[in-house]
Structure formats: structure tokens, C-alpha cells
Amino acid sequence: MAAKFNEEDQSRKVAVLYRETQKWKSDLNFLEVEANFIQQLLNSYVFVPNTPNLFERLQSFLERTEICVKHKEEVGAMITKHEKVLGGMLECRDETCDFSYYRLHENIRETVLKCMHTFRILKSEVFNYAGNILKNRKEE
């Protein structure tokens, strides 16, 4: 026999899931700020000229950054859609209904984590590469 839930139980569950979606949105907003910084860095003229394959590496990083930003937008849209349907969980009165919302939430969580992980790897690669080829400021 499936457990029955009251409205107060469901309201608490929705609040927990909603708070997590807010954290995801915050993380994705921070990703966007960092991606913007990386794009500006890669488009600047602060790198040592005549570095082998400099242009190709910078272009590759820029393209990968753009892919991350597009993926971030898609994930953000998924979160927004998910937030809109979370209210339907208030109507659930048994575990079967609850499970479908939790399963969707878990799938989105995995997508968010993958998006963030992919960007962290890219960011690390950019900073490791750029840190070695930045122009040194000469003393005057």
C-alpha cells in the first residue's frame, strides 16, 4: 500500500526542491560571469607574441567556452521549466506521483553537475595555459 501524504508534507518537499533549483541558478549565473571573464582574457593582447600555436589554442578555448555558455543556457531553461512544474507536486498524494518529480529533479541535478564540471575543467586548462604565456610587465 502506498503511503498517503498531506498538503503540509508536500509543501515542505516542494520547498526543499525549489531551494536546490535556486542554488543551481546561482551556480549557473556565476559560471556565466566566469565565462565572460575568460572570453575577455582570451580576446585581450596580454599574451607573449610568437608563442607556438597561440592563435589556435586561444580559438579552441574560445569555442569551448561558447559551447559551455550555450549548454548553461539550455540547463537554465530546464531548471526554469522544472520550477514551474514543481507546484504540481502539491497535488501528489502517494509515493508514485512523488517519485516522478524526484526522478526529474535528480536528472536535472546530474545535468547541472556535468555542466559545472565541464566548465571547471575548461577554466583550469585556460588558466594553466594562460598563466605560462602572459606578458611580463617591465619595470620602468
Digit-coded pLDDT (tens) for 26-82: 999 999 999 999 999 999 988 888 888 989 999 999 999 999 999 999 999 999 999
Q: Is 47 helix (H, G, I), strand (E, B) or coil?
A: strand
The pTM of the full predicted model, rounded to 2 decimals, is 0.85
Nearest by Cα to 48 from 137, 114, 139: 137
Mean pLDDT of the chain: 89
Give pLDDT, residue 68: 98
Q: Give the pLDDT of residue 1.
A: 41
